[in-house]
Amino acid sequence: MKFGKRLETLERNSHIHEYTPPIIIHTIVEPNESGPKEIGVFANVLLEGSYQKIDLELGKTHDEYEKKINEYIKF
């Protein structure tokens, strides 16, 4: 087998996994007399080569935030 044909075979059979960047959810809090108060939640997600800010609703669980972000990414 020649080198070129062997290289083509190897490249065709290789499985390259796409890099999936982590999703970091940012919570904005401010001091309050009764303790810290959550005033905003957002996530920066890498889409099509640039980061996009996704504003999220207050008072949800982390799993609900991830579900919302995944729906946004899938369009």
Residue 2 lies in a domain: no
Write the DSSP string, 9-71.
Answer: HHHHH--PPPP-PPPEEEEEEE--TTS-EEEEEEEEEEETTEEEEEEE-TT--HHHHHHHHHH
Residue 3 lies in a domain: no
Q: How far, in Å, CA of 7 to CA of 33, rounded? A: 67
Residue 50 lies in a domain: yes
Is 59's pLDDT higher than 70?
A: yes
Residue 36 lies in a domain: yes
What pLDDT shows up at residue 31? 93
Residue 8 lies in a domain: no
Which residue range forms the structural domain that includes residue 63? 21-74
Is 58's pLDDT higher than 90?
A: no
Residues 19-57: pLDDT tens digits? 667 778 888 899 989 999 888 888 888 777 788 888 888
Name the amino acid, one letter, at 6. Answer: R
Q: How far, in Å, CA of 46 to CA of 36, rounded? A: 29
Is 75's pLDDT higher than 70?
A: no
Residue 4 lies in a domain: no
pTM > 0.75: yes or no: no
Number of independent structural domains in the chain: 1
